[in-house]
Amino acid sequence: MAEPVRVRRLTDQKGQKLQQIVRRSSTSAVRYRRAMMLLASAGGNRVPVIAQLVQADEDTVRDVIHRFNEIGLACLDPRWAGGSPRLLKPDDEDFVIQTATTRHTKLGQPFTHWSLRKLVAYLRKVHGCVIRIGREALRCLLARRGVTFQRTKTWKESPDPDRDAKLDRIEEVLDRFPDRVFAFDEFGPLGIRPTAGSGWAERKHPDRVPATYHRTHGVRYFHGCYSIGDDCLWGVNHRRKGAANTLAALKSIRAARPDGTPIYVITDNLSAHKGVDIRRWAKKNKVELCFTPTYASWANPIEAHFGPLRQFTIANSNYPNPGPARLPALAQRQRPPPRRPGRRAQGTRPHPQREGHPLGRTPPRSSSLTKPVTRPARQAVSQPSRGSAGPAARAPESLRAESRNRTAAAALKPKPTFVQTMTVSNEASAIRGMPLTSMRA
């Protein structure tokens, strides 16, 4: 039986590069999908699962994996087009690329980086291999080989002394017990706010999400669990990482296999994943924790599934429910600050000339459509003169006190507000008698 197609063991730099491409998804679609294929294969996923993940043919996945095993990360940029015959031999091109990517102190040069002019001059007078090439041809050669002029960056490799042993153990359990292997990791922080993204829309009329200025709901961390054998991803959102949340996720993984057989959970070596309580519980419940090496979280099979989760679930979203128990509630529309009693919050009433009016258009100004309710005139109580002998003067004291109480109660009643009656055109349904205050809500 032929062995399953799989990428060779990744170095730390290549694994981090693939993980960066999949997480950010800001590159081209071809480069993004190919990086997802390689990262999923490095995490132990089989070819059918990868083909379903990226919605591609299985032969395409196998071709990309074989190409990576031959030329490395250069397979992310396929060369589908031909070109004119080359004038330099392949050995000469390799020498040019090797010279351009070599530290200048090793070649005895007094400067810190090459320019095209300096590199052309050096290649013409180097001993043993004189190469005559123009600056434009040299620029095209460097671009074709993927050598660009860029800023220097720092690098790091895994300092874990047990790096090879941990990777060997992960590969062993993936090959021998694929139906009993699970992966666990946190995904975040995820801001609870409208998130920009991309989608199909009319030209020059993109879909819009509201801007946020008061982000009062904090962030969430998605504690994801992935079953290798069942190809199933589940999890729950929490406000922070912690040993208690990790233990709850591990218990849900153990509940997925209640038969009591040993299971294997691949996770990184975060301190919240390997506490004393977690190790004691894992030993008691036949759960083996397979930790990835330091700075090598790319070896976790769940990492390849976080990229599509961010792209198709979080990007271009504006979820109204901030509940932490549901995955789609990763971003939500921000609520305005509470109003003070007796005071209108600024900016809450829509301008009648702007978009967003409750009726969707500017209301007509015709007086025939508005009919204010007239306020009842306040009846003035005539005060009789001192010398007069009217009915109020002759009435008993109790009647005069009752009249004063009615007058004071009428003054304390709230004044009736104006109510605007609007009628929509015949194409829409008629709205009659709707208070204007209800439209502002």
Asked if residue 424 lies in contact with residue 359, where contact means CB atoms within 8 angstroms, the answer is yes
Beta bridge partners of 191: 219
Using DSSP, state whether 428 is helix, strand or coil. Answer: coil
How large is the average pLDDT for residues 154-172?
88
Q: Do 227 and 305 belong together in one domain?
A: yes
Of the candidates 325, 328, 332, the one whose C-alpha atom is nearest the C-alpha of residue 238 is 325
In this predicted structure, the answer to whether residue 38 has a pLDDT above a threshold of 80 is: yes
Q: Do 121 and 224 belong together in one domain?
A: no
In a domain, 33, yes or no: yes
Q: Do 223 and 119 belong together in one domain?
A: no
Q: How many domains does the chain fold into?
A: 4
Most confident residue range from 388-397, 404-413, 429-438: 404-413
How large is the average pLDDT for residues 282-299?
92
Of the candidates 209, 257, 210, the one whose C-alpha atom is nearest the C-alpha of residue 229 is 257
* Confidence category of residue 308, pLDDT binned at 50, 70, 90: confident
Q: Do 219 and 261 belong together in one domain?
A: yes
Q: Do 213 and 104 belong together in one domain?
A: no
Q: Do 194 and 285 belong together in one domain?
A: yes
Of the candidates 151, 153, 155, 149, the one whose C-alpha atom is nearest the C-alpha of residue 114 is 149
Q: What is the mean pLDDT of the chain?
A: 75
Asked if residue 62 lies in contact with residue 5, where contact means CB atoms within 8 angstroms, the answer is yes
In a domain, 194, yes or no: yes
CA-CA distance, 199 to 184, in Å (whole number)?
Answer: 30
* Confidence category of residue 280, pLDDT binned at 50, 70, 90: very high
Of the candidates 15, 44, 18, the one whose C-alpha atom is nearest the C-alpha of residue 33 is 18
How large is the average pLDDT for residues 163-191?
91
- DSSP β-ladder status, 219-227 and 181-191: antiparallel
Q: Do 19 and 117 belong together in one domain?
A: no
In a domain, 172, yes or no: yes
In this predicted structure, the answer to whether residue 397 has a pLDDT above a threshold of 70 is: no
From 47, 76, 105, give the residue that closes a domain: 76
> How many other C-beta atoms lie within 10 A of the C-beta of residue 250?
24
Asked if residue 289 lies in contact with residue 273, where contact means CB atoms within 8 angstroms, the answer is yes
In this predicted structure, the answer to whether residue 253 has a pLDDT above a threshold of 60 is: yes
Identify the pLDDT of residue 316: 85
Q: Tell which wins on pLDDT, 24 or 427.
A: 24
In a domain, 408, yes or no: no
How confident is the model over 315-345, as pLDDT tens digits? Answer: 888 876 544 334 443 333 233 334 444 444 4
Residue 439: domain span: 350-360+415-441
In a domain, 345, yes or no: no
In this predicted structure, the answer to whether residue 55 has a pLDDT above a threshold of 90 is: no
Cα torsion through 55, 56, 57, 62, rounded to 10? -120
At residue 287, what are phi and psi to the nearest 5 degrees?
-120, 120
In a domain, 369, yes or no: no
In a domain, 326, yes or no: no
Q: Do 94 and 41 belong together in one domain?
A: no
Give the CA angle between residues 167, 168, 174 to the nearest 5°.
Answer: 90
Q: What b-and-e string marks burial along 414-434, b requiring 16 or more CB atoms within 10 Å of the CB?
A: eeeeeebebeeeeeeeeeeee
From 50, 76, 102, give the residue that closes a domain: 76
In this predicted structure, the answer to whether residue 269 has a pLDDT above a threshold of 80 is: yes
Residue 28, amino acid: S
In this predicted structure, the answer to whether residue 76 has a pLDDT above a threshold of 80 is: yes
Q: Do 193 and 287 belong together in one domain?
A: yes
In a domain, 389, yes or no: no
* Confidence category of residue 127, pLDDT binned at 50, 70, 90: low
How large is the average pLDDT for residues 415-430?
35
Cα torsion through 84, 88, 94, 97, rounded to 10? -80
Q: Do 58 and 195 belong together in one domain?
A: no
Q: Which residue, chain included where needed, has tokens 């590969």? A: 171
**pTM for this entry:** 0.50
Q: For position 228, which CATH number holds? A: 3.30.420.10
How large is the average pLDDT for residues 180-202?
88
Q: Do 72 and 94 belong together in one domain?
A: no
How confident is the model over 198-251, as pLDDT tens digits? Answer: 888 899 898 888 887 777 778 889 999 999 989 999 998 898 899 999 999 999
Give the CA angle between residues 215, 216, 219 to the nearest 5°.
Answer: 80
Q: Do 174 and 120 belong together in one domain?
A: no
Q: Provide the token pair at 379.
A: 């009846």
Which stretch of 231-240, 365-374, 382-391, 428-437 has the lowest confidence by average pLDDT? Answer: 428-437
